[in-house]
Amino acid sequence: MALLLSCASVSALAAERTPGKWYAGGSIGKGGYKTGYQRTADTIFSTGATSVTVVPDVTQTMWKLYAGYQLTPQFSIEGGYWNFGRPSYTANITAPVATSMRRSFTAQGYGASLVYWLPVNDSFSAFGKVGGMLTNATASSADPGAGLGTLPAETARRLNWSFGLGAQYDFNANMSGRVEYEAVRKIGDEGKFGTANVGMWSLGLNYRY
């Protein structure tokens, strides 16, 4: 009887600590934008500038909020919101007049991914993901003055491919920490202010319930 009661107690405790299939979390980190700047130069020249040097500021603080569902021990699906910061550039124009202007951008998106999990031991797992993201990028208006033309504010929305790699450590049955790298391809619009590939390194926590 004592043995049965002991087994029952252990089973009840295990049931209490068994995590569910849903989880949610958030991450924050740093990232950057990779672009050839040719389209940026073209838009600046459209103001009437003929000689310009572009100084970019593309290293940004980025963050995301997400939720997931464990389909099987090897696969889950995740979806959420990503904020890719506020990159900008300063254009130093030297001809036909000497002036400068600053243009800033915002980028964010809602996405979903299929995640493949590769357990290393009871607490540590690696994972890879691939999915899609509906991104929204905006460019502010910019006025160099000195008789040159003005760049209008513009918005670009499109569906982009995304992928990522990372690792997760389980502190207990419910709480986990993760580090990951994610990339999104060609945010923006080549016909407007150009496109950029975005990369994001982040640290985060998630809770399984």
pLDDT digit string, tens, across residues 66-93: 999 999 999 999 999 999 999 999 999 9
pLDDT digit string, tens, across residues 119-143: 999 999 999 999 999 999 999 999 9
pLDDT digit string, tens, across residues 178-202: 999 999 999 999 999 999 999 999 9
Task: Give the end-to-end CA distance of the chain in Å, rounded to a whole number.
Answer: 33
pTM for the whole structure: 0.86
pLDDT digit string, tens, across residues 38-64: 889 999 999 999 999 999 988 899 999
How many Cα neighbours within 13 Å face the side chain of 150?
Answer: 8
Listed by start position, the domains of the chain span: 19-32+59-84+105-208
- The number of helices, as runs of H, and strands, as runs of E, in the chain is 2, 10
- Fold classification of 19-32+59-84+105-208 is Porin (2.40.160)
Q: What integer best gives the mean pLDDT of the chain?
A: 90
